[in-house]
Amino acid sequence: MQATTTEMFEAMNAVMPITSRPALAFVRGRGSWLWDHEDRVYLDFVQGWAVNALGHCPALIARALNDQANTLINCSPAYHNLQAVLYARELAKASGMDHVFLANSGAEANEGAIKLARRWGARHRDGAYEIITFEDAFHGRTLATMSASGKREFAALFEPKVPGFRKARLNDLASVEALINSRTAAVMLEPIQGEAGVVAASDAFLRDLRALTTRHGVLLMVDEIQTGMGCTGRLFACEHAGVRPDVMTLGKGLGGGVPLAALLATREASCFEPGDQGGTFNGNPLMAAVGLAVLEHINDAAFLANVRAQSVYLRARLERLSAQHGLGPVRGRGLLLALELNRDCGAELVTAAREHGLLINAPRPHLLRFMPSLTVSRAEIDDAMTRLEAALGEVTGSI
Ligand SMILES: *Cc1c(COP(=O)(O)O)cnc(C)c1O
């Protein structure tokens, strides 16, 4: 549908105001590039919030959507459909999990994981229902996943919260062990806390957590919604630590841009009974077909090696920029990287960078996060650095 710019700005009044957004609307995208309503072009290092693993509008996804839309879009979750069963098999094989429940958002997948832990506690641990999560964690925006999150901004919101979540400190095993009791059903964490500012659980901590949860007979649930699907340079971030969780959740890059998420569990942890879990759109063949195409493409040694190579390059460029401008360290893994600024100018930098045609994100006031497409090129990384440097000059020059 075509609209004049005036009409478009008027139409924005119909959008429920849930966050402040710049006065523009995006119209189309291709690879690492996005075009707005005035046909201005932006280099996109946000990519739908680490969602467009293969960039904007990859032919592979357009083809999968088109083929499947002409074959079967939905047939009710009361029946199996071919795409969903093939996809579940491939996802289980790739992750080392046994069972897959397809969902429509990360929060929904985590909500399912929380229910699964409670079901498991009821069945195997005498009614245990508590889940140990972590300070600064982010697990979604439903009531239960907000309660599971450790984001300080969430603490006072929508009281009363869902009970049963206790917060430990990341990379502090003793803080976890101190919270384990007979009511504990599971420990749940992100291998890298993305929204907290790309703060990683160390490989040693993940391994210790695996041993601890096994010793106490509670589930280890890993939220790989942001870290999964190749963005750390392996298909799943917990592979770096050699850890196999009992429950894993996936989202964001899973569908390469379409709404698709998943809850995965080992046979031992998978204990839903008929009626416990479901959903109208869950496992629809349209999204499953896309997921299958994206998984086949990303779960490839050469693809993942390229993510690692581009990561080395982006990290080196960011480190050089940091040295030149007196900024802080670079952290993260693969193409999920953050740059510490050593001052609270993240929001100004995001705005200035956008004016220079670069989209980036500041999850914290003192920090920039980079989430380019996993197919980003060196030339695009160079281009992003030039734009960021111009923005930095403006912002830090004015402080
Ligand atoms: C984005 C995210 C979620 C929530 O996913 P939605 O699709 O936005 O509901 C949960 N956990 C982590 C780690 C995330 O990054």
Q: What mean pLDDT is predicted for residues 52-74?
A: 98
- Residue among 190, 226, 231, 281 whose CB has most ligand 1 atoms within 8 A, to mutate: 226
| Four-CA torsion 12, 15, 18, 20, nearest 10 degrees | -10
**3-class DSSP state of 355:** helix
Instruction: Please name the residues in contact with 107: beta carbons below 8 A apart, sequence gap of 6 or more.
Output: 139, 140, 141, 142, 145
pLDDT exceeds 50 at position 399:
no
CB neighbour burial string for 197-235, b if at least 16 within 10 angstroms, e if fewer: bbbbbeeebbebbbebbeeeebbbbbbbbbbbbbbbbbb
For residue 289, name the pLDDT band (cuts at 50, 70, 90): very high
Rounded CA-CA distance 189/82 in Å is 32
Identify whether the C-beta of residue 13 lies closer than 8 Å to the C-beta of residue 21.
no
- Tell me the HSE value of 258 on the side-chain side, using a 13 A CA sphere: 24
Q: What mean pLDDT is predicted for residues 57-70?
A: 98
Rounded percentage of the chain residues whose pLDDT exceeds 70: 99
Rounded CA-CA distance 101/261 in Å is 9
pLDDT exceeds 80 at position 1:
no
Tell the residue nearest (CA) to atom 15 of ligand 1: 226
pLDDT exceeds 70 at position 303:
yes
In the reported structure, the alpha carbon of residue 261 is separated from the centroid of ligand 1 by a whole-number distance in angstroms of: 9
Write the pLDDT tens digit of every residue in 139-182: 999 999 999 999 999 999 999 999 999 999 999 999 999 999 99
In the reported structure, the alpha carbon of residue 108 is separated from the centroid of ligand 1 by a whole-number distance in angstroms of: 9
Catalytic residues: 138, 223, 252
Q: What mean pLDDT is predicted for residues 331-352?
A: 96
Crossing angle of helices 59-69 and 285-298, rounded to 10°:
150
Q: What is the mean pLDDT of the chain?
A: 97
Which residues sit with their C-beta closer than 6 Å to ligand 1?
A: 105-107, 110, 138-140, 190, 194, 223, 225-226, 251-252
Q: Going along 104-197, which residue ranges are E strands?
A: 130-134, 165-168, 184-189, 192-193
pLDDT exceeds 80 at position 130:
yes
- Res 13: pLDDT: 94
Rounded CA-CA distance 223/112 in Å is 12
DSSP 173-214: HHHHHTT--TTEEEEEE-SEETTTTSEEPPHHHHHHHHHHHH
Q: Which of 169-183, 199-213, 348-362, 384-398 has the lowest mean pLDDT?
A: 384-398
pLDDT exceeds 80 at position 2:
no
> Checking DSSP bridges between strand 219-223 and strand 165-168, what pairing results, if any?
unpaired
Rounded CA-CA distance 115/101 in Å is 13
Rounded percentage of the chain residues whose pLDDT exceeds 90: 98
What are the distances in angstroms from CA 84 to CA 41, 77, 102? Answer: 37, 10, 8
For residue 397, name the pLDDT band (cuts at 50, 70, 90): confident
Rounded CA-CA distance 104/113 in Å is 14
In the reported structure, the alpha carbon of residue 133 is separated from the centroid of ligand 1 by a whole-number distance in angstroms of: 15
**Whether the model pTM is above 0.85:** yes
pLDDT exceeds 70 at position 398:
no
- Residue among 19, 49, 134, 138 whose CB has most ligand 1 atoms within 8 A, to mutate: 138
What letter would DSSP give residue 18?
A: -
